[in-house]
Structure 1
Amino acid sequence: MEEIAAGGVVFHRQGCEIEVLLILDRYGRWTLPKGKQEPGETVEETALREIKEETGVRGRILSVLEKVHYIYYDRVRGKIDKSVTYYLVEAVSTDVTAQVEEIDAAKWFPLAEAAELHRTKGYDNNQSVVKEALQLLEGDES
């Protein structure tokens, strides 16, 4: 079975500092907001909807970052071949409200702290996505 999802590296500027939004998932990992595509949605619409649903933050897509593929196993559906398209998303609202039915927390972190937290307590298959976004954002910061 195939599953399509989308999400993003969401950021905003706090004065002269850039902050990145991470979520704490049910497995205790700090990661990126994402979710499954619904019928009739574009991948971009999925990313923005899922970010808003999980965190309360509205955003606008600046660019595509990467598509990540992985396989996981579901007790009911069996083997799932999942692809997640990630975007660089600039927040147009910054008030965070975690969707407690799906995640444990959502929080803004300074750029370097977000990178380290994701590296040490995130998912390996998203590391290249975060790295690419941070390179773009650090270039924008100078």
Structure 2
Amino acid sequence: MESVHSAARDRADIAGRDDLDVVLRRFYTAAFADPLIGPFFTEIAGTSLEVHLPRITDFWERALFRSAEYQRNAFAPHAALHSVEPMTAEHFGRWVQLWHATVDGLHAGPHAERAKAQGERIAVAMLKRLSGGRADTSGDGLGFIPLAAVELRAAA
């Protein structure tokens, strides 16, 4: 267990936009390639990582540091995607799993922990709003798995 703790000490916390850019580029590269959630980005939305990255970096910079101007409606594009292909608890659970794994692989500290917690809160809120409040986010069964990244960390 000591090696896990020393590995965490070797990773710096997320310090600002430059760190967020690296985290988000790595995360979205994995998300775009993921067989479960990738098609939402690549086929349904036709999103380009280079177009998406500055916008989402603004979002996360504002969420973590309150230092960016993010004036967009984060829900609207997800609602549009959901109208074409419904996003389920499984999709959001996979997003959270990849998000945790990416953040943990690069950073450790209060901002990294806040980023993971905020990602979970956003995923739960988005899923509930898209499903009209009917989504199962309990984590039992095939639904939303907010702590799925724990299994990834335990296996590493």
TM-score by length of 2: 0.28
Give the structure with the larger strand fraction.
1
Q: Kindly indicate whether structure 1 or structure 2 has the higher relative contact order, using CA contacts under 8 Å at least 6 residues apart.
A: 1
Q: Flag the structure with larger Rg.
A: 2
Give the structure with the larger helix fraction.
2
